Chains A and B, each alone.
Chain A
């Protein structure tokens, strides 16, 4: 079964004034273990679609499923709890809680989930080590570089053991080295732990490393290409 499935999702902003059709009948499926990139020109609807996939926003019409749960039927409160237990998020910026250390940021999600103190600390340390920040556990976000902050964000997204991770332009504020480093980590997690990633990006270097590239134009899916391990492209 697909991890995520949308059925003819439409999103209209400001329907009563100057309507903006941000998404038009978008139907896509994401399978477990995918490493998928959403691309498209600015304003094409990438962020809007990610918000739908992440149950952050409700479509104007259409349905969206995560596993066998129809998230478009859930209440606001149910969606918050659903996100907590099922989805990991990495945002472009303002990702972390500024007053918490890296370790506290990662364990916070687990605390909200009700994970026991001991387990939560061990797991937070493990995750930070896996993103290469074993020696910066007690640093606050403002003491970390942009790349390091995004790596903490990835560790935090993973902490809740989500079904998949959504990332909206995670490398947008990073230089090449930091961007590639973040991609390496995401890729490694995808390969070794079969973590499903869906991320939006403008960045050609990042697009190249995605195995599936979904292109949006004007709120509609323009193309959907998957590169199989033998490097043939499937549309």
Chain B
């Protein structure tokens, strides 16, 4: 075994330059595909992050009917007891965030527009998603005030601004009509473009009163120490809620369309990666091919003097394995260094792109993902390709005709 390894290792370095070039190609493949992944996933992470923070949360509890029929009839009772009980289910739960969400018509003297009303606990909401920092004009409401904060896009559409009055008309619980006049106390910038054109924030208590939903909420967002625990925490809560009319939803269940869209968006990136892999695979195969062919005679001698074909095949496998391993490990190190560099010194964005990113509530830098799994998935793929290519020299020596090999 030691001798076979020695044989493989030395054979590998017989042509130093070629081996180094091959390893460099593998490094390049890993670095390039990790980098592409990082950029793609970076923008996706940004979208998902905003989506979960401002809209769904990573985990959400709803009445089981609410998903199909998002009316106040499907709201549920919430108090300090429920909060305490939920917090007790799992120590990774950091807070419970109550919300009332409903669709209402918003009108001034001339126009009427549909909008989403969010009744929120401002302090908690702020802790969760930094809501107060999104204010662009005026102020946020006090706890029980009859004041609302409009998203900027919405206020533009209605042509209303701070200290104007807005009329809200909709339906409360059990078909009660809900309507009232509210003062616009502030304008905020919603990071999700879609939501920016139709969001109205008001205090939770005010919303409850308007909608005849005292002590009710339509959803509870569950905050956790890390979103990686989503599934585990969901399982615990699910257990707790068993037998009640409440259900817990994870974010992929809450925004499946968005995830599908993001998946679709990744197709291009995957295609690029595949092309890169194919190019690298052919280059690598070329090296292994010449490396094999120029040594056919030597292989013939080795089998002639009594080296078992499988032993020889194993030695050749070792050679490819070592090249693959060196390339991939070095590739991961370089990719890590590169991403770390961009983590410290992000690529600054300018122009329209920068504005879009700022609008989404992020710094104007190219969003990149630093998720650790992208390193090893790319590394594993490249390594797998390398190993697959090892089949060729192995096949050659298994089938090698000793006589013609020594005549070649």
The interface of chain A, by Cβ under 8 A from chain B, is 51, 54, 56-57, 77, 80-81, 83-85, 87, 89, 91, 94-95, 97-100, 104, 108-109, 111-113, 156, 160
Contacts and interface: CB of A to CB of B under 8 A. Distances in A.
Contact of B304 (A81, A83, A100): A83
Contacts of B14: 98-99
Contacts, number: 58
B311 interface: yes
A110 to B, nearest CB: 10
B11 interface: yes
A155 to B, nearest CB: 13
Interface in B209-237: none
B306 A81 contact: yes
A109 B7 CA distance: 13
B393 to A, nearest CB: 16
B308 to A, nearest CB: 6
A84 B305 contact: yes
B301 A95 contact: yes
Given A91-B304, A109-B306, 14 more contacts: A51-B403, A80-B303, A80-B306, A91-B301, A91-B406, A94-B298, A94-B301, A94-B406, A97-B7, A97-B302, A99-B10, A104-B3, A112-B306, A112-B307
Interface in B298-328: 298, 301-309, 311
Contact of A83 (B7, B11, B297, B306): B306
B402 interface: yes
| Interface-central residue, B298, B303, B306, B402, by most chain A CB under 10 Å | B306
B304 A112 contact: no
A100 B303 contact: no
Contacts of A56: 304, 402-403
B10 A57 contact: no
B322 to A, nearest CB: 14
B9 to A, nearest CB: 9
A56 to B, nearest CB: 6
Nearest to B300: A94
Which of B303, B304, B305 is packed against the most chain A CB atoms within 10 Å? B305
A159 B397 CA distance: 24
Nearest to A84: B306
Nearest to B307: A112
3 tightest A-B CB contacts, nearest first: A84-B306, A99-B10, A83-B306
A111 B304 contact: no
A85 B306 contact: yes
Given A51-B403, A85-B306, A112-B307, A100 B7 contact: yes
A85 B305 CA distance: 9
Contact of B309 (A80, A100, A108): A80
Nearest to B295: A98
A9 to B, nearest CB: 15
A112 B309 CA distance: 12
A94 B304 contact: no
A100 B297 contact: no
A89 B301 CA distance: 9
B305 A109 contact: yes
A226 B306 CA distance: 31
Contacts of A51: 403
A120 to B, nearest CB: 10
A85 B306 CA distance: 8
Contacts of A108: 3
21 contacts: A56-B403, A57-B402, A80-B309, A81-B308, A83-B305, A83-B306, A84-B305, A84-B306, A85-B306, A87-B306, A89-B305, A97-B7, A97-B298, A97-B302, A98-B14, A99-B10, A104-B3, A104-B6, A108-B3, A112-B306, A112-B308
A77 B308 contact: yes
A83 B307 CA distance: 9
A100 B10 contact: yes
Contacts of A87: 306
Interface string B1-40: 0010011001100100000000000000000000000000
B298 A98 contact: yes
Nearest to B14: A99
Contacts of A89: 304-305
A17 B309 CA distance: 30
B365 to A, nearest CB: 50
A57 B403 contact: yes
A84 B11 CA distance: 22
Contact of A80 (B6, B298, B307, B406): B307
Contacts of A156: 305
A51 B300 CA distance: 13
Contacts of A83: 304-306
Nearest to A92: B406
Contacts of B6: 104
Contacts of A160: 306
A89 B406 CA distance: 13
Nearest to B8: A99
